[in-house]
Amino acid sequence: VNFCLSTVLSFPPSLKNLEKQLICPVCLEMYSKPVVILPCQHNLCRKCANDIFQVRQHFGGRFRCPSCRHEVVLDRHGVYGLQRNLLVENIIDIYRQQEEKLLDTSVVCVSSRLVNIKPEQRQQQLMCEEHEEEKINIYCLSCQTPTCSMCKVFGQHKDCDVAPLNTVFMRQKTELTDGIAILVASNDHIQAVISQMEEISHTIEENGRRQREHLANQFDVLVGILEERKQTLVGLITKQQDEKLKHVRSLIRQHSDHLEAAVTLVELAIQSMEEPHMSAFIQVHEHWYVGLQKSHLYFSSIFRVLEIYEAAKENNKARIGKAKTTFCKLENI
């Protein structure tokens, strides 16, 4: 049976859409490996990225993404420090393989003869194993296997549902291409999400650093205030201590003098008790008695002062205990 198989030299729309996604914005050609991914998630040929970097090298390793104008800052490794996009490279390989297969199967009908577009693209047509002279040109939908027309008419697939092999081929190619395009779009979306999460992570770290620094500064100010207050209170306590010590030591000297005078007075009074003459005793009695009364009054006043001091000391102990309790509560805040 002579028939003309005509397949137009064209690619599915989905394959053309995929091709648009694989065009470098610098050279306007399909990405050449290695493909690098910028921090903004756009891709460039490493060669194109290096060309831009060399031109802008005197700007400190900074250049803008040709797609979104986002500023790219490179480290000392230059473009070789950028991560390769292996997924895009694999997709390019798959695309080129499919492109070659489509070119290999593209023929036109000229004068009822099959003429290949290019001699080097001549297809090696598979032949049916059961009907050796028949080419495999249909696809059995029931058995899901390629076969020939004779198998459908006389062979094991005569009761099966079939479709032209080219139709099934193009449909499956389209499905695969659409799947690749979806995967590429998903990859770009995931890369954007990862970039966003990295920015969030950086923001969290920066906020934590600022909060720690702010807290440390506040505590430094508080410690400074407390240290200044401490020095003031220590100075006040020292001053009060010196004044009280001076006063107490003065009282010690004063009381010591009175005590010494009282001891002398007692000794003299005892001696006067031994006076044998009554007239002589009566003459000195008034003098010693008045002296003893004055000493008694002096020591009585001292005892009252000591009682007041003891009461004040107990009161101070209670106040100090209350202050310690308050300070302990502040420590637990």
**Within a domain: 215:** no
- Which of the pair, 104 or 207, is modelled with greater confidence? 207
From the list 20, 10, 12, 11, the residue with the least C-alpha distance to 184 is 20
pLDDT tens for 318-328 read: 766 666 666 56
Could you check whether the bond before residue 34 is cis, i.e. omega within 30 degrees of 0? yes
Q: What is the mean pLDDT of the chain?
A: 77
**Within a domain: 52:** yes
**Within a domain: 164:** no
Q: How much of the chain is helix, strand and coil, in % rounded to 5?
A: 65, 10, 25
Beta carbons within 10 angstroms of residue 288's beta carbon: 18
- Determine the 3-state secondary structure of 112 from DSSP: coil
Residue with tokens 């000195």: 284
- Determine the 3-state secondary structure of 288 from DSSP: helix
**Within a domain: 67:** yes
The per-residue pLDDT for 91 is 85
- The listed range with the strongest mean pLDDT (12-21, 75-84, 308-317) is 75-84
Task: Find the CATH number of the domain harbouring 52.
Answer: 3.30.40.10
Q: How far apart are CA 167 and CA 60, in angstroms?
A: 56
Q: How far apart are CA 70 and CA 200, in angstroms?
A: 18
**Within a domain: 75:** yes
The boundaries of the domain holding residue 66 are: 1-122
Q: Is the pLDDT of residue 12 over 60?
A: no
Residues 14, 177 contacting (CB under 8 angstroms):
yes
The per-residue pLDDT for 277 is 72
**Within a domain: 105:** yes
Question: What is the percentage of the chain residues whose pLDDT exceeds 70?
Answer: 79
**Within a domain: 172:** no
Angle (CA) 98-102-106 rounded to 5° is: 170
**Within a domain: 88:** yes
As a whole number, mean pLDDT of residues 165-194 equals: 83
pLDDT tens for 116-155 read: 444 444 456 688 888 877 788 889 998 988 988 778 776 8
The per-residue pLDDT for 81 is 83
The per-residue pLDDT for 308 is 77
Structure tokens at 227: 């240290």
From the list 178, 181, 1, 12, the residue with the least C-alpha distance to 105 is 12
The per-residue pLDDT for 5 is 30
Q: What is the pTM for the complete model shown?
A: 0.36
Count of domains for the chain: 1
The per-residue pLDDT for 320 is 67
pLDDT tens for 218-265 read: 999 999 999 999 999 999 999 999 998 998 898 888 878 878 877 887
Q: Is the dihedral of CA 136, 138, 141, 142 positive or negative?
A: negative
Q: Is the pLDDT of residue 157 over 70?
A: yes
The per-residue pLDDT for 109 is 33
* Confidence label for 107 from pLDDT (cuts 50, 70 and 90): very low
Q: Is the dihedral of CA 227, 229, 233, 236 positive or negative?
A: positive
Q: Is the pLDDT of residue 156 over 50?
A: yes
